[in-house]
Amino acid sequence: MIKKVDVQIRPNCEDDVEPALISVENALDTIVAMIQPVLEIELVPVREALGRILAKDLLSPVNVPNHTNAAMDGYAVRASDLLQHGLTVIGTAWAGRPFEGSIKQGQCVRIMTGSVMPEHSDTVVMQEQVEKIDDMIYLAPGQRPGQHVRYAGEDLATGSIALSGKQRLFPAELGITASLGISELPVLKKPRVAFFSTGDELRSIAEPLAIGEVYDSNRYTLHGMLVRAGVELIDYGVVPDDPALLQETFERASANADLVITSAGASVGDADYVHQILKKIGEVGFWKIAMKPGRPLSVGKIGPAIFFGLPGNPVSVMVTFYQFVLPALRKLSGEKNISSFRCTARVTNRLKKKPGRAEFQRGVLSLSDDGALTVKNTGEQGSGILSSMNRANCFIVLPTDSEGANVGDIVTVEPFPGLI
């Protein structure tokens, strides 16, 4: 069942605290519980698997590395010879061209990194630790038996789980797959996400702007966030506040997509049609969430499609997307891990906040000279100030009860993606 919260008054992002707000955590739990992951599997070439969700555990069909080999350039010796005074060099082992013979007592083989260890050798002495005179080498003291050797299967043993099912595939996973000699991976089908902007004041970027009109920027941030989320996109453009057109677009979008996102018109009164239509054709709750920015949010279903009606203000769109839609998309995509990474940092400017709503302030996270993570906010935190997202590299997450933070306090931060 979808939680429905009746709204008595017109909510506005800048209002003070009022009762009947849902907490961010409750809202997220309800959203996640509504979603059934996509289960269809397709086979794709390794490179195309980047960013996709692996459908099932990938077992290693081979040992990686496939032979015990040298981890350093140097000499392959027998551990029992480490205290010998002088060893005879009887040949060379190259990466890809093993030394064919075996090593007897008092002998060694010149060896390059990655070369197969010659028979009866078990230790590598780095070339820097050796004095070579003609075909004899003399070892520096302090060598350890078995040093600088990589064992067959030490990275991945035959039959072991190389990659876990339901994980997202990043560059390392493509490399691991290739290291196993595998050319295709079973991945889950991408969910389809339809989105559009609503509002009579919206203009497309190629059009001139009259007084009171704004360019539709939300569809561009949404485009970016959805591409990064790895879903298939259907962009329905800008739909004016026209009941017939809106209903038609909602119906088309929900018939063609697993999830539908709109921005704006989530405030009662401003776009009454949206609510009337959603009531008529779907099961959609209008939520007031105890958060800032991004309080009004519609969540529910239109037929089998999940529906998110995000707020209109540009920062609210991004905050509600990252806090609610992204975890929903991860679950829908079949991904095991649906939460974003968070850590803590020391505050370097005062963060103002009233208790009653969780806040997602835009922050700049950096590493201070003493090695600790520090964070300051980007200044003015209005929900229309999209440049605050540009200046930020993290959200500062201040919980509902927080009364802000003083310089030196520790706060939770959610870094924007780092290495990708």
Which residues form the interface with ligand AMP (CB under 6 A)?
Answer: 197, 199, 201-202, 214, 216-219, 263-267, 270-271, 311-314
CB closer to Mg ion, 199 vs 285? 199
CB closer to ligand AMP, 230 vs 294? 294
Least separation in angstroms between CB 384 and Mg ion: 13
Helix (H, G, I), strand (E, B) or coil at 322: helix
CA separation, residue 242 to residues 107, 156, 212 (Å): 88, 59, 18
Helix 243-256 with 272-281: angle, nearest 10 deg: 50
- What are phi and psi for residue 284, nearest 5 degrees? -125, 130
DSSP E strand stretches across 84-160: 87-93, 107-111, 123-126, 130-133, 136-139, 149-150
Name the burial class of residue 69, with classes exposed (0-12), middle (13-18) and buried (19+) by CB atoms within 10 angstroms of its CB.
Answer: buried
Least separation in angstroms between CB 50 and ligand AMP: 30
CB closer to ligand AMP, 115 vs 218? 218
Residue whose Cβ sits closest to Mg ion: 199
Structure tokens at 411: 């706060």
What is d(CA 300, CA 250) in angstroms, rounded to the nearest whole number? 13
CB closer to ligand AMP, 300 vs 311? 311
CB closer to Mg ion, 111 vs 264? 264
Q: Give residue 309's identity as a one-letter amino acid code.
A: G
CB closer to Mg ion, 45 vs 212? 212
CA separation, residue 111 to residues 147, 148, 174, 366 (Å): 14, 11, 30, 44
The interface region with Mg ion, picked from 39-47, 66-74, 196-204, 301-309 by CB under 5 A, is: 196-204
Positive or negative CA dihedral for 89, 91, 94, 99? negative
Structure tokens at 47: 């490179």
Binds 311: which of ligand AMP, Mg ion, none (CB < 5-8 Å by kind): ligand AMP
- What are phi and psi for residue 132, nearest 5 degrees? -110, 125
DSSP E strand stretches across 275-399: 283-288, 291-292, 296-302, 305-310, 343-347, 358-367, 373-377, 394-398
CB closer to ligand AMP, 193 vs 202? 202
Least separation in angstroms between CB 267 and Mg ion: 7
| Binding-site member from 51, 199, 309, 415 for Mg ion (CB under 5 A) | 199
CB closer to ligand AMP, 182 vs 214? 214
Least separation in angstroms between CB 266 and Mg ion: 9
Least separation in angstroms between CB 357 and ligand AMP: 18
Under the binding rule (CB under 5 A), the answer on residue 11 touching Mg ion is no
| Binding-site member from 21, 176, 264, 318 for Mg ion (CB under 5 A) | 264
Least separation in angstroms between CB 309 and ligand AMP: 9
Residues 6+ apart with CB under 8 A from 244: none
Least separation in angstroms between CB 332 and ligand AMP: 23
The interface region with Mg ion, picked from 14-22, 206-214, 256-264, 371-379 by CB under 5 A, is: 256-264
Residue whose Cβ sits closest to ligand AMP: 312
Binding site for Mg ion (CB under 5 A): 199, 264, 270
